[in-house]
Structure formats: structure tokens, C-alpha cells
Amino acid sequence: MLVRLRQGLASPELDPLLALCEELGYSARFLDEGRRLLELSGCGDRTHRTRLEDHPDVVEVVDAGDSHELHAQADGRQDTVVRVGDAAFGGGHVAIAAGPCSVEDYDRLLRLALGVQECGVSILRAGAFKPRTSPYSFQGLGVVGLEMLAAVRAETGISIVTEVLDPREVERVAEVADWIQIGTRSSTNFPLLTEVGRAGKPILLKRGFGATVREFLLSAEYVLDTGNEEVVLCERGVRGFDSTTRNVLDVGAVAHLRTATHLPVIVDPSHAAGRADLVRPLARAGLAAGADGLIVEVHDDPSSAKSDGEQAISLEELGALTRDAQDLVSLDGRVLSMESDRSAPHTSSAKEPIQ
């Protein structure tokens, strides 16, 4: 482990820190004359990184070495591939999820599921439990919405990603979802992260809109620490000072995360843009920065949508976006998971991914 210390610490002042390192089982040596870079050898317990970060003489842990956390990429480690139905994220695999912000009614959900499948997308997104800023906004259909998702899944064979808000609902959501979403507002609900980690399903973890990249990764760490390695990180924009876009899509974070973690990283251009006309360019930017996939809001009548209508693209636009994605990922030798062309759209038979 490599630790950077505060400037100007005299020898006796360093004694408590050095004693702590010894107590934790490390042998310590300074790498520089100024005694600011401290190399620690031995041990390798994950709890030590934050223990040292919390020490008043430590500015930062530059390299966690053998004490690296579960999300961290390490020399020679393969990227984690997370599979959701026929789709795969990470390790050169790219996939798209699309659908309405909320489950609204059965007929619309079925229509949109068939529509996104026609575009080559095999994962339907739609919230039954909606985390709304105002308690007076539409809160989602709840359990009734979950039942609609289950029915559409059975009818079409499409995979489902949907959000859970409450640790008490995790089991119920896990019965329907192929992939469980933790939204931006829940990303620091640590009991929820632990509970969802134990659900035995892949997790879609969105970045908190005010979270640093480090905080985002530590949220993922709560899930990973339960033994669930199937975590997909989602950059969905962070809050900025300018209301031109709803959030600021942090493509720098996407590029950084692709090398800092072995976990797949996807982009949600819809909540970043907040405007349908910017969804396609932000999706392209995300993929160009290395994102392993996209999650996109789609609606067939945005003006009547119960939530987020202003950022919903049409099915035609989803088709164009999917073709963009195929072109972009092929540039660096990656593969886009696609729903196979289906001659009988209403059957739920097994599907071959197009390579």
C-alpha cells in the first residue's frame, strides 16, 4: 500500500501513525527524503484502507495494493461480465435496456416491450416503484405494476430491469426482475444495498446525483461485500449549476471507471439529458468513452407519460440509437448483444444473440 502524508511532519509526530501501521501488521518505509510517501508491505486487509484514510496525518491512499477493495481492477484480472437474459455487459460485451420511465398500464407496457424487441433490445426497463422528489407526483403502480411486468415478461420473453426502493420489497421485486435497479436517490441507502446484494440477482447501481466517483464505488462495495459480484455501475449524470441539461453526464467518470474497476459501466443518457433531443448524442458520447451499455427511456406518447415524458425518445429513435451503438462498438472490436430478428414476435421461445 502507498500512502501520502501531510507535509512537514517531524519525526516524533509520525510515531503514532507508524505505531498504527505496525499494529495493523505492516512494515513501513519512506520512499522520499521529505518523508511524505510511505510504503506499507504485508497484511492486505480491506478495512485498512479507510482506517488509514481517516488518520489525520494521511492525505490519501495513493495505491491500496493488497488491501484493494472488491470493485478494484487488479493486474491480470479479467473484467466481470454481467449477464441479463441473453444480453451481456462488460469484457467486450455491450447491451442496451429500454422502456418507459414507469409502468403505466398493461397494453402500453406490452406494446413498448414488443417495440423495443423489434429494435433489437432484449431488456425492458420500467419502474413499478418510483422514487419521486415530490410526494404528490405519481409514485408508480407498486405491486400491480410488478404484476404487469411479470405478465409482459411471460408474454414476450423480454428480460426486466426495475427499481426497488424499500428493503422490505426486495424479495417481491426479485421474483419479477432479471436485473434489480437501485436508483440515484437510494445509492447511499446502505441497508437496501446489503439486502439487494443478497437477492441473488444482478444489480444495476446508479450513481448518486451528488456522489463522487469514490462514493459511487463504495456504494457498489456494499453490494459486492454480500458476495454478489454481478453489479453494473450506471453513470446517469450529476447535478451541475446549469439547467440546460437536467444533469451533467460525467463521461470522464465513465472513462476512469472502465480502468479503475472490473465491473461493467453503463450510461443513462435520458436522466442526464432530461430532453429527448439530446439522448442520442449523449448515448454516443457514453459509448465512445467506453461504456459497456446504455439504459434509455422510450415512450409511444411522451405527452401523456406519467413520469419523465420530456426525456422519452420514440421507438424509431431507439432504432437509430441501436444502429449507432452497433457502429460505435464495432470500432473497438466489441459486440452489441441484440435480440434476434423474430418472425413470431409474440412467442417466448429461446433466442440466439446476433453476433
Position 108 contacts ligand PEP (CB under 6 A): no
CB of 163 to ligand PEP, least distance (A): 6
CB of 188 to ligand PEP, least distance (A): 12
Measured CA to CA, the distance from residue 344 to residue 318 in angstroms comes to 21
Site residues (CB under 6 A) for ligand PEP, limited to 29-88: none
Site residues (CB under 6 A) for ligand PEP, limited to 185-244: 185, 206, 236
Angle between helices 213-224 and 251-260 (to 10 degrees): 40
CB of 55 to ligand PEP, least distance (A): 34
Residue nearest to ligand PEP (CB): 183
Beta bridge partners of 335: 93
Q: Give the list of residues 6+ apart from residue 348 with CB closer than 8 angstroms, or none.
A: 154, 155, 156, 157
Position 127 contacts ligand PEP (CB under 6 A): yes
Q: For ligand PEP, how many residues bind (rule: CB under 6 A)?
A: 10
Q: Give the list of residues 6+ apart from residue 45 with CB closer than 8 angstroms, or none.
A: 24, 25, 67
Q: Give the list of residues 6+ apart from residue 329 with CB closer than 8 angstroms, or none.
A: 94, 287, 335, 336
- Please state, as a whole number, how many other Cβ atoms lie within 10 Å of the Cβ of residue 145: 23
The nearer residue to ligand PEP, 67 or 187, going by C-beta atoms, is 187
Exposure on the CB side of residue 138, measured as CA atoms within 13 A: 15
Stretch that binds ligand PEP, among 26-34, 64-72, 144-152, 181-189 (CB under 6 A): 181-189
Position 117 contacts ligand PEP (CB under 6 A): no
Q: Which of 5, 38, 101, 146 binds Mn ion (CB under 5 A)?
A: 101
**Beta-strand pair 123-125/93-99:** parallel
The distance of Cα 162 from the centroid of its chain, to the nearest Å, equals: 13
Stretch that binds ligand PEP, among 34-42, 107-115, 177-185, 188-196 (CB under 6 A): 177-185
Q: Which residues of the chain form contacts with Mn ion (CB under 5 A)?
A: 101, 308
* Binding-site ranges for ligand PEP (CB under 6 A): 101, 127, 131, 183-185, 206, 236, 268, 271
